[in-house]
Amino acid sequence: MADDAAPVRVLLSRHLRAAGHEVIEVADGMAALRAGSEAGLDLAVIDQLMPGMLGTEIIAAWREDGLEFPVFVLTAIDDDDTVVHSFELGAADYIRKPVNMAELTARINGRLRDK
Amino acid sequence: MGLSLVSTVLALATVVASVALISVKLAHRIMLKGRGVRSAHYIAALGEMISRKLLPADIPRRWAADPLFHDAVIEYRHLLSGEEREFVDHLIAEVGIVGVLQRRARWRWPRPVRLRAIAALVELAGSDQVPFLRFLLGDHNDYVRSHAAHGLARLGDVSSIPLILDLATRVRPWEAARLADALAAFDRRAVKPINEWILKHWDGDGSHVETIAQAARVLGLLGETSAETTLIEMLESDRLGWKVAAASALGRIASDTSRGALLKALHDDSWEVRARAVRALASLADGSVAPAIAELLSDSQWWVRQNAAESLGELPGGVAELQRALSSEDRFAADAARNQLAELRMLPAGTETTLAVGSREGSS
């Protein structure tokens, strides 16, 4: 779970932990990149605009390293080009803020069940 | 003796200044740390409450007065939708934050406190705060007035639109532009009241001229075709500011209805109008206007030629017009076409590029 906004990390990680998942929280792009490479993730939820790296840059770097876990992009950016670019890079979903946390958790659960 | 005394005093002063500086820095660091800890505490506490949808009966009353708590609530409110958003709104009401902000937004508080309160109030106010936000439109502080307008826009109170436009006629251009930006934050329901306000003041005294131009800009931003009749009338008026604003707005709306008026505006006496009209026509994506636009590659003003070339680069059939202009006897037209084709990477191999600057009239 990578987002520089603390409320997102606090609330989403609470929902995910309540659903039985183990959650790693990071607040910047470089930490997210490292976590993806080193922690053996099943799924990542990343913000598009973070200090250090853009979400799309992180997805591109993971894919280049052969890391194929699903990535959900969670962002306030409502720009069609960014959405398309995210999916082209292999994002599993693109969710715009404001967000319904229960629905997002259900989507994540569904994706992990399908894996 | 005298020299030694001066040295001692200087040394002492240096020590005192150093100690004072270190103390101030330390105090500042402790304060920042305290703020960070408090902020993290609020975010964690709110996260707990929201995820459990549980509002404890014993929330400390001082939280409602703490700007850091307000910031945390605003962050959660921006983040969430659905039931959790409703819970945040319930929490805002129960804790009494809006009442605190309303008191602090009044004039008797120090300026920084007021400004911070009004910024938070705009984010957290409910529809019951409309009368207070309208009251703040009459404040002596321009920041407060424009924030109040943004707050009314966030609440979607369209009946405030004439008040905001009236205010825009009485303030400096910078603030009038900010008030117009607030109008753009309304949805398309704002088009009708803005349109009516323009028509009401169309023949009024000169004090409404600039605001009508700003209102036209907003109509373009809202992109509603029902505003076209008014905008076309503005384009055909004899006021330069209105014509320029209307041409740009019609370009944003991009409807076929405005094609005739925009084609006519290509021959306007003012180059500012021709320059906007030629860009507005490009947004219609209608290749039939390309020949008329191509004529402006020979315009007397660089800006118009540049815009005509850019528009041709975007229109169906426009590239053919640019290629035709390459062999024009008019060097200005050929240069504008050549540069645009180079920009599009469609310049025939071996064709020399030049920078088409300057004006035939020597005053662009």
Confidence bin at B352 (pLDDT 50/70/90): low
Q: Tell if the CB–CB gap between B51 and A11 is shorter than 8 Å.
A: yes
What span, in angstroms and rounded, lies between the C-alpha atoms of B285 and B318?
10
Q: Tell if the CB–CB gap between B48 and A7 is shorter than 8 Å.
A: no
Q: Scan residues 48-107 of B and list those with Cβ closer than 8 Å to A.
A: 48, 50-51, 72, 75-76, 78-85
What span, in angstroms and rounded, lies between the C-alpha atoms of B327 and B334?
7
> In this complex, how many residue pairs, one in chain A and one in chain B, have their CB atoms less than 8 Å apart?
51
Sort out which chain B residues have CB atoms less than 8 A from A99's CB and list them. 79-81
ipTM of the complex: 0.88
- Is there a contact between A95 and A59 (Cβ–Cβ < 8 Å)? no
Strand stretches in chain A, DSSP E? 44-46, 71-75, 93-96
pLDDT in tens, B192-250: 999 999 999 998 777 889 999 999 999 999 988 999 999 999 999 999 999 999 999 99
Look at domain A6-106 and name its CATH class: alpha beta
What span, in angstroms and rounded, lies between the C-alpha atoms of B116 and B104?
9
What span, in angstroms and rounded, lies between the C-alpha atoms of B249 and B148?
26
pLDDT in tens, A89-102: 999 999 999 999 98
| Mean pLDDT for all residues in chain A | 92
Which residue shows structure tokens 């309208």? B134
Domains of chain B by residue range: 37-124
Q: Tell if the CB–CB gap between B79 and A103 is shorter than 8 Å.
A: no
Best of B41, B51, B76 to disrupt the A interface (most A CBs within 10 Å) is: B51
Residue A9: closest C-alpha in chain B: B47
Judged by a CB distance cut-off of 8 A, whether residue B209 touches chain A is no
Residue A11: closest C-alpha in chain B: B47
Best of B80, B85, B87, B88 to disrupt the A interface (most A CBs within 10 Å) is: B80
Q: Would you state the pLDDT for residue B176?
A: 93
Q: Would you state the pLDDT for residue A65?
A: 93
What span, in angstroms and rounded, lies between the C-alpha atoms of B250 and B242?
12
Which residues of A sit within 8 Å Cβ distance of B?
A: 5-8, 10-11, 14-15, 18, 76, 97-103
Among B47, B78, B85, select the one facing A10 at the smallest CB separation: B47
List the one residue out of A66, A68, A75, A114 whose CA is nearest residue A91.
A68
Is 70 exceeded by the pLDDT of residue B134?
Answer: yes
Judged by a CB distance cut-off of 8 A, whether residue B4 touches chain A is no
For the entire predicted model, the pTM comes to: 0.76
List the one residue out of B150, B148, B122, B153 whose CA is nearest residue B135.
B148
pLDDT exceeding 70 applies to what percent of chain B? 95
Strand stretches in A48-92, DSSP E? 71-75
Judged by a CB distance cut-off of 8 A, whether residue B127 touches chain A is no
Sort out which chain A residues have CB atoms less than 8 A from B43's CB and list them. 6-7, 10
Is 70 exceeded by the pLDDT of residue B359?
Answer: no
Q: Which residue has the higher pLDDT, B117 or B108?
A: B117
End-to-end CA distance of chain A: give it in Å, rounded.
18
Q: Are strands A71-75 and A44-46 parallel, antiparallel or unpaired?
A: parallel
Domains of chain A by residue range: 6-106
